[in-house]
Amino acid sequence: MAKEQFRFYTRLHLSELTGLRASTLDQLLKLLKQVPGSSIYYHTHRFLQQHQYLSPEPPNDFAYWVSEMVGEDELAEQLASIDTVQFRNIRSLRDEIVRTVEAYLRSKPLAKLRFSSIGEEFHFVKAVSFVIPTNNVANNLAEFLQIIKRITIDSIYYHVFEARLRLEQETNDFSNWIATALGDTALADEISRLDPYTRTLEDLRNSLIAIIDKRMGERRE
Amino acid sequence: MINVWVNAVNKLDEYGPIVGPAILDDLRLIAGKLKGKKVQHVNSTAVGGGVAEILNRMVPLLKELGIDTRWDFVKGGEKFFNVTKKFHNALHGRAEEITRGDFETFMETSRQNIEEFDASGDIVFIHDPQPIALIKKKKNNKWIWRCHVDVSDPNARVWSFLMDFIEQYDSAVFSAPSFSRRLPIRQFLISPSIDPLSDKNKDLPEDVINDVLEKYGILRDKPIITQISRFDRLKDPVGVIDAYQQVKKYTDCRLILAGGGASDDPEGIEVLNEVMEKAKKDKDIHILLLPQDDIVINALQRASTVIIQKSLREGFGLTVAEALWKGKPVVASNVGGIPLQIKHKYSGLMCRSVQGAAFAIKQLLNSPEYAKKLGENGREHIRNNYLITRHLRDYMLLFLSLFYKDDIVYL
């Protein structure tokens, strides 16, 4: 039995339009510095949920737009390669995106002359998140595993991504509970080492299931 | 005002095998947070067009989730709907001569509707411009204006006229980011959806598909390219024929242009005649003006090799979602909500011209494996993002957003 239960939450988001748009890299840079953190969050995480079948396809909207609409593939690659998992908060992630675009424009000033066609501008959207407790509660690792198998990817998303980055937690909720309530730091570490940004959410679910299954097998032995 | 009574066709649990039972659990959780709220939808027609189609499915499901939901539509004569059609075209950026008398006609009918409207809902949900003036009835309740049309480049005069109403709403909703404009009220992005269990989208036995083709005299002896749309210049049916003619020089194929009319669309017959004239010498072009028969549309889509949606403007373009859900490779214009549904070369092909459309169709006809992969990706994309269950979730979150102002809401 765990020292305390784990209650699964779900996090659902609604997309709020800001009315802000960019058609050049200069405009994009200016707005990147101004928009709310929830907009940076939206554009760096939306692909994970909306394009679950595409992996490892463009991990953020900025990279997709710079490549497909502006045609600056080198900058797009740099933006796509930003290691999102290393950032503990949106502020530092935003700083890195801004730094990347600024450095690129300094080294390739002609890129400032490129622009997207009419109708293909970058539109800044922000996420409004609703966090709701579900009826799923685990008292031990076996129950935890059964719930992981059936909950929505939104719930997995909340406990892995939202908790860690947007809410500035040190680790993800699953590892935190497994370490503190079950006292299994090895399993907690293994889960926290998963890079969730380079796999689809269903792959992430399957990886979690495989890791926990293996651990339970070891315990039985 | 006329109330629409809709009977449930499918129960919520029937969606479980398609989206997974956990998604339905989430819907019930959210609905629980809206207990006691009464929602009133208002649009301009009970049949024909995407809005009525969505409400027909959505309203019973909201009721099943325990949300007290009502649906009314505004009354208006031919004169009123001619004006709102002009508004529609002008909002899409088309040149329209709009007179002072047109605005007066709009206001005259609106005044009658305002007088009759019982705005007793906690949340009043107005769809499109036709009933927009009902906002005059706003008291302490929450009002949403849902814009289903592409207003990325609207006629300034019509937009300015509508803005006087829009700014009185609590929130506005658009179908694509490119439609958003700087507004003094909150605005949300909510895409429409398709219902996988409806007659238009459910699986069909092969003999039903063959019966439909036989009825309309269409042989399956060569690849079939299809555009399903009402006959409207903004859907560019003439451009579709041009693209087909370019493809046909290299690959023998058939073209189906099929669609119905909506009761608020008086321009359709005129466009149909232009299309018939353009196609008259080619027996492989099948032009079908269909009555409302969703099984026929479903069968035509399923019988197609490639589906095209060459719109010049588009609200969202639900026909694209329908085609992708059937696993079909799609060629579509980069307008309105279409880029949300298709990521170029991943879940379909985008085009920006007749030549581009023809090139993309040829690619798909010549590379069936590639076409199949695009169709499979497209189906998964629709399953994850554009089915009615996601739409229900977004609408309920929208209702909740009216009562909270923060970016993170703990319920």
pLDDT per residue as tens digits for the range B122-178: 999 999 999 999 999 999 999 999 998 888 889 999 999 999 999 999 999 998 888
Q: What is the mean pLDDT of residues B385-391?
A: 95
With beta carbons less than 8 A apart as the criterion, state whether A200 and A194 touch: no
B377 contacts A54? CB cut-off 8 A: yes
Is B401 touching A (CB cutoff 8 A)? yes
Residue A123: closest CA among chain B residues belongs to which residue? B177
The values of phi and psi at residue B339, to 5°, are -65, -20
Q: Do domains B2-193+387-401 and B206-385 have the same CATH topology?
A: yes
User: Which residue of A17, A119, A128 is in closest CB contact with B407?
Assistant: A128
Is B391 touching A (CB cutoff 8 A)? no
Q: How far is B179 from chain A (nearest CA, A)?
A: 9
Name the residue type at position A193: R
Is B219 touching A (CB cutoff 8 A)? no
pLDDT of the residue at A55: 47
Cβ-Cβ contacts under 8 Å for A160 (sequence gap 6 or more): A172, A173, A174, A196, A204
B411 contacts A130? CB cut-off 8 A: yes
Q: How far is B17 from chain A (nearest CA, A)?
A: 13
Name the residue type at position B227: Q
With beta carbons less than 8 A apart as the criterion, state whether B397 and A130 touch: yes
Q: How far, CA to CA in Å, does B292 sit from each of A41, B43, B199, B260?
A: 43, 19, 11, 6
Domain with residues B2-193+387-401, CATH architecture: 3-Layer(aba) Sandwich (3.40)
Which among A8, A13, A18, A53 is the top mutation candidate for probing chain B, defined by the most B β-carbons within 10 Å of its own β-carbon? A53
For chain A, the domains span: 6-11+138-220, 12-126
A16 contacts B410? CB cut-off 8 A: no
Q: What is the pLDDT of residues B196-222, one digit of tens each?
A: 999 999 999 999 999 999 999 999 999
Which chain A positions have a beta carbon within 8 Å of B190's beta carbon?
14-15
Retrieve residue B142's tokens.
């929450």
Retrieve residue B238's tokens.
């003439």
* Residue whose pair of structure tokens reads 């309740």 in the numeric block: B141
Which among B24, B34, B189 is the top mutation candidate for probing chain A, defined by the most A β-carbons within 10 Å of its own β-carbon? B189
The values of phi and psi at residue B33, to 5°, are -80, -10
With beta carbons less than 8 A apart as the criterion, state whether B73 and B43 touch: yes
Which chain A positions have a beta carbon within 8 Å of B374's beta carbon?
none
Which chain A positions have a beta carbon within 8 Å of B188's beta carbon?
14-17
pLDDT of the residue at A168: 72
Taking the C-alpha atoms of residue B41 and residue B22, their distance in angstroms, rounded to an integer, is 27
Query: Within a 10 A sphere around the Cβ of A194, how many other Cβ atoms?
Result: 19
Taking the C-alpha atoms of residue B33 and residue B47, their distance in angstroms, rounded to an integer, is 31
Q: What is the pLDDT of residues B97-133, one digit of tens each?
A: 999 999 999 999 999 999 999 999 999 999 999 999 9
pLDDT of the residue at B313: 84
Taking the C-alpha atoms of residue B379 and residue A170, their distance in angstroms, rounded to an integer, is 37
Q: What is the pLDDT of residues B52-81, one digit of tens each?
A: 888 989 999 999 999 999 999 998 999 999
**Is 60 exceeded by the pLDDT of residue B263?**
no
Taking the C-alpha atoms of residue B62 and residue B395, their distance in angstroms, rounded to an integer, is 10
Residue A10: closest CA among chain B residues belongs to which residue? B26
pLDDT of the residue at B270: 85
Which among B26, B386, B398 is the top mutation candidate for probing chain A, defined by the most A β-carbons within 10 Å of its own β-carbon? B26
Taking the C-alpha atoms of residue B95 and residue B153, their distance in angstroms, rounded to an integer, is 11
**Is the peptide bond preceding residue A56 cis, with omega within 30 degrees of 0?**
yes
- Burial class of A115 by CB neighbour count within 10 A (0 to 12, 13 to 18, 19+): middle
The values of phi and psi at residue A201, to 5°, are -65, -35
User: Which residue of B335, B384, B401 is in closest CB contact with A50?
Assistant: B384
Q: B212-231 b/e with 16+ CB inside 10 Å = b?
A: bbeeeebeeeebbbbbbbbb
Cβ-Cβ contacts under 8 Å for B203 (sequence gap 6 or more): none
User: Which residue of B174, B186, B407 is in closest CB contact with A36?
Assistant: B407
Which chain A positions have a beta carbon within 8 Å of B334's beta carbon?
119-120
Is B30 touching A (CB cutoff 8 A)? yes
The model's pTM is 0.88
Q: Which residue ranges of chain A lie beneath pLDDT 70?
A: 47-59, 166-167, 169-170
Cβ-Cβ contacts under 8 Å for A205 (sequence gap 6 or more): A148, A149, A153, A156
Q: How far is B136 from chain A (nearest CA, A)?
A: 25
Q: What is the mean pLDDT of residues B231-237?
A: 91
Which chain A positions have a beta carbon within 8 Å of B26's beta carbon?
10, 12, 132, 134, 152, 154
A121 contacts B180? CB cut-off 8 A: no
Taking the C-alpha atoms of residue B348 and residue B200, their distance in angstroms, rounded to an integer, is 21
Taking the C-alpha atoms of residue B5 and residue B60, their distance in angstroms, rounded to an integer, is 9
Residue B342: closest CA among chain A residues belongs to which residue? A51
Which chain B positions have a beta carbon within 8 Å of A12's beta carbon?
26, 30, 393, 397
0.90 surpassed by complex ipTM: no
pLDDT of the residue at B178: 85
User: Which residue of A52, A121, A127 is in closest CB contact with B384?
Assistant: A52
Taking the C-alpha atoms of residue A70 and residue A7, their distance in angstroms, rounded to an integer, is 45
With beta carbons less than 8 A apart as the criterion, state whether A25 and A108 touch: no
Dihedral, B223, B229, B232, B233 alpha carbons, nearest 10 = -50
pLDDT of the residue at A56: 43
User: Which residue of B23, B183, B407 is in closest CB contact with A38?
Assistant: B407
- Burial class of A192 by CB neighbour count within 10 A (0 to 12, 13 to 18, 19+): middle
First to last CA, chain B: 36
- B81 Rama class: left (phi>0) / alpha (psi -120 to 50) / beta: alpha
Taking the C-alpha atoms of residue A127 and residue A46, their distance in angstroms, rounded to an integer, is 9
Q: What is the mean pLDDT of residues B342-354?
A: 92
CATH homologous superfamily for B206-385? Glycogen Phosphorylase B; (3.40.50.2000)
pLDDT of the residue at B83: 95
Q: How far is A221 from chain B (nearest CA, A)?
A: 33
Strand ranges of the sheet holding B224-228, from the earlier edge strand across to the other edge? B285-289, B254-259, B224-228, B306-309, B330-333, B349-351
